[in-house]
Amino acid sequence: MKKEEVLAKIHEVGIMPGIRSSSAEDGRFAADAIGRGGIPIVEITMTMPRAIDVISDMARNSPGIIVGAGTVLDLETAQRCLDAGAGFLTSPGLDLKIVEFAVKQNILVIAGAMTPTEVITAWQAGSELVKVFPCAPIGGAAYIKALRGPFPQVPMIAAGGVNQETAADFILAGAAALGIGGRLIPKAVIEKRQGERISELARRFLRIVQTARIKTSHRN
């Protein structure tokens, strides 16, 4: 899938599920359950065992799901993820070398940022989405709203502490999408192989985002 198509799908769905499971098998199980819940995007974090193998497997065998690489911290890992078929790269912080690499390879990169300086630096370097992380500890939705003031042109993903109670607030504050991990993919639910619970959580978060976007459009 082309970079522009991946970017468009993330904007459309508005949710970036981050999978941080303890095994590759758990990761595949969670990704499949999320897909059945209506979210065709998953971020496989490099902290997961055999993460790159999972990306490769899903890129080959799950054509309906966009699989990306998360917590990419160096160029070697970025290249390995790209070779495995990752549709996008994300990182928790701002590494301009990774951004420049992705731009040259024409793959979507989502750089992490926390401060206003990092947000604008990531955007100007070519990060077409900027992941504001960690969101909840530094002000939550109010912080996203504050950043959107000077940077209305920068699409931001709110990540870190997003849950069902706060998800709508982040969208109403101007977040283009939400990065959600354990609140969408609970570890205990994966271990018990309760796939339908994960699918239902995916559907629930989708409804929250869609409802908040309708309110935003009416407000504007």
pLDDT digits (tens, 9 = 90+) for 110-140: 999 999 999 999 999 999 999 999 999 999 9
pLDDT score, position 1: 81
Overall average pLDDT of the 183-202 stretch? 94
pLDDT score, position 219: 74
pLDDT score, position 10: 97
22-159-127-21 Cα dihedral, nearest 10 degrees: 10
Q: What is the DSSP string of 123-141?
A: HHHT-SEEEE-STGGGTTH
Overall average pLDDT of the 34-38 stretch? 95
The rounded mean pLDDT for the chain is: 95
Question: What is each CA distance from 8 to 1, 4, 39, in whole angstroms?
Answer: 11, 6, 14
pLDDT in tens, 152-180: 999 999 999 999 999 999 999 999 999 99
Task: Write down all domains in the chain, each with its CATH number in brackets.
Answer: 3-219 (3.20.20.70)
Whole-model pTM? 0.94
